Amino acid sequence: MEMKKIILSKKTKVYIFAPAKIFTGGPELLHQLAYTITKKYKIDVKMVYLPITDTNPIHNNFEKYKIKFSNYIEDEKKNILIIPEHYQFLSYSLKFKKIRKILWWLSLDNYFGYKFRYEFSKTIRSIIKIPYNLIKIFNKLINYRFGIFTYQDFLKLFYKNFNLCNFKELSQIDYHFSQSSYAQNYLKKYFKDIKILSDFQRPEILNNYKKKLKKKKNLICYSNKSNLFIKQIKKHTNYKMIELAGFSNSQLINIFKKTKVYLDFGYHPGKDRMPREAVLFNNCVITNIKGSAKNNIDIPINRKYKFKESIVNLKNINLRISKIFKNYKTEIKNFKKYQNIVLKEKKKFYGDLDKIFIKM
């Protein structure tokens, strides 16, 4: 049975949890949502930053949204509390008994990571992780011939033995939204009618992507979230590679304008922001097949640009990069579909909200 629309009245107050003074992709999405609900439905929306502090908790990059914040939540049935998947936020929300609660799964793997860290002591975690550490040692000894088994892979395997519906912090939730098809597909066996609510690109990206350089260089940029397989790629290529870490927005944009290839061998806990940014600036995207990169909805690129993290694939990855550099004008055409999807994300976001909320 399909979920009924969530009723918003003139008296409804919406509270959205976010981490204090932190600027990353997740908090950006939470502020985007707050801004959009405020403008679209003309109701009172406030951010609630954790940990609660007397000083200004708003990161200066989010001041542009001009969203009010509060340290107090009015725990009434008419109101709504939107919670990201961070375990600390979910635990804190247990104190509120009447308010309608929405869990927005911005990622899947990060939930398991936070839960594991906060529910088990360091000693217990060390014991549970013994099989993972043994696999890690074995993988290193055989030079990762059969692929890389990550910490995130291990945690998903560990929590596969549990029923998520029985977790106290999840059983309190009234509605589940998923930012990615990856999370939705995993969670639908536990929770009914998980709605997709994705996101859209930042103004800084949308205002600059058309101002491309006339001539790009044979340069590779790669996500700093990529795992140790990226070190193997670096050893087997003669092309210059730029790690995307520690750059301002303008510096990041300037790198995307110069490079032709974007590599992302991270664990893809949700529909990642950086591959979408890279493709808008005419970068050919190459990924692994973990997390959201495994499906063709969250990262909709041809399968020939996705590789299993195995030592035997290093030659194929290098060949693919060389082909891109030699035939860049032809290769970049394969990413037109991905670019068009990214450019339509804002319109889709508004449409998704209309399927979820109704103003009375």
**Once rounded to an integer, what is the mean pLDDT over residues 189-200?**
92
Any residues with CB less than 8 A from the CB of 11 and at least 6 apart, and which?
Answer: 78
**Do the Cβ atoms of 353 and 33 come closer than 8 Å?**
no
| pLDDT at residue 3, rounded to an integer | 64
Name the pTM for this structure. 0.92
**Once rounded to an integer, what is the mean pLDDT over residues 133-146?**
86
- Whole-angstrom Cα distance, residue 94 to residue 268? 28
Cα distance from N-terminal residue to C-terminal residue, the chain: 22
**Do the Cβ atoms of 287 and 299 come closer than 8 Å?**
yes
Task: Identify the weakest region by mean pLDDT among 15-19, 166-170, 198-202.
Answer: 198-202
The contacts found for 235-244 with CB under 8 angstroms, 24 or more apart, are 236/314, 236/315, 236/317, 236/318, 237/318, 237/321, 239/321, 239/325, 244/274
Q: Is residue 215 scored above 90 in pLDDT?
A: no
| pLDDT at residue 53, rounded to an integer | 81
- Whole-angstrom Cα distance, residue 98 to residue 35? 24
Which is more confident, 134 or 3?
Answer: 134
**Once rounded to an integer, what is the mean pLDDT over residues 315-342?**
96
Any residues with CB less than 8 A from the CB of 299 and at least 6 apart, and which?
Answer: 268, 271, 272, 275, 285, 287, 292, 293, 306, 338
Q: Is residue 130 scored above 90 in pLDDT?
A: yes
Q: What angle do CA 75, 77, 80 make, to 5 degrees?
A: 75
**Do the Cβ atoms of 78 and 99 come closer than 8 Å?**
no
The DSSP call for residue 2 is P
**Once rounded to an integer, what is the mean pLDDT over residues 103-116?**
96
pLDDT in tens, 110-120: 999 999 999 99
- Tell me, what amino acid is at 225? K
Which is more confident, 208 or 173?
Answer: 173
| pLDDT at residue 1, rounded to an integer | 46
In the chain, the domains with their CATH numbers are 6-116+152-197 (3.40.50.2000), 203-343 (3.40.50.2000)
pLDDT in tens, 10-60: 999 999 999 999 988 899 999 999 999 999 999 999 999 999 887 889 998
Proportion of the chain above pLDDT 90, given as a percent: 78
pLDDT in tens, 242-298: 999 888 888 999 999 999 999 999 999 999 999 999 999 999 999 999 999 999 999
**Once rounded to an integer, what is the mean pLDDT over residues 1-12?**
82
Q: Is residue 205 scored above 50 in pLDDT?
A: yes
